[in-house]
Amino acid sequence: MLRAENVAKSFTLHVQDSTVIPVFKHINMTLKASDCVALTGASGAGKSTFMRMIYANYICQEGSIHVRHGSDWVDMVSAAPHTILDVRRRTMGYVSQFLRVIPRVPTLDIVAEPLKTMGISECNAGWCAAEMLARLNIPKALWSLSPLTFSGGEQQRVNIARGFVAEYPIMLLDEPTASLDADNRAVVLDLIREANARGAAILGIFHDEAVREAVCTSEFDITRFRAANDG
């Protein structure tokens, strides 16, 4: 489903005398259907950075990241913007650590949005979104409110609901279980297992070892690709 080849990343900080911060290089990784791979490594090793590069949120300076999109393969590094948006719409979901929404939009609409952009009718999308919110224990009284006023854990659950509602073939999860209580963590683990069972390929960052052991089929340590400062 996903093939990263010889991927390298460094940040150039122009505001600080063009300091170059190398992150990693020569990453090769493949992700197959029904895989659930845990991305591991110390804080600052570039786990989130690598994940964002797969989502084409960060630019990739070297290498290629091929993603199975329908019957085609798309290189997220060189693809045109509208192709990348189409991959994000239909193939690849990304659950980030932060929820970013327009003020005033009700939670239910936010969760239903990925389905609507896939072309599912408003009514069906709303129904699926409601089911997902209920499963993640978001009280029904909150569905018509904007999640901007919610607690951190509730916001994260809205984010997870939004990520899992659309059943993407590839899912990127950036610490989906951080700041959740045990009950909700169990729900998220079930969602991950179900996604795996229907054939989704999952790449996740999980700091909790117990979570990794519960759902992951393998681990991928990013530390060994660390790029030295001398280039």
- Give the binding site for other proteins (CB under 8 A): 11-15, 18, 52, 56-59, 80-85, 100, 102-105
Closest approach, Cβ 218 to other proteins, in A, equals 28
Q: Which is nearer to other proteins, 33 or 120 (CB)?
A: 120
Q: Which is nearer to other proteins, 30 or 83 (CB)?
A: 83
Rounded to an integer, what is the distance from CA 176 to the centroid of its chain? Answer: 9
**Could you give the CA distance from residue 177 to residue 162 in angstroms, rounded to a whole number?**
15
Residue 174, beta-bridge partner list: 205
Q: Which is nearer to other proteins, 80 or 182 (CB)?
A: 80
**Could you give the CA distance from residue 202 to residue 205 in angstroms, rounded to a whole number?**
10
**Could you give the CA distance from residue 92 to residue 86 in angstroms, rounded to a whole number?**
9
Closest approach, Cβ 189 to other proteins, in A, equals 28
Sign of the Cα pseudo-torsion (101, 106, 108, 112, in order): negative
Secondary structure element (H or E) that encloses residue 227, with its range: none
Closest approach, Cβ 71 to other proteins, in A, equals 11
Closest approach, Cβ 45 to other proteins, in A, equals 17
Biggest CA pair distance of the chain: 56
Q: Which is nearer to other proteins, 11 or 221 (CB)?
A: 11
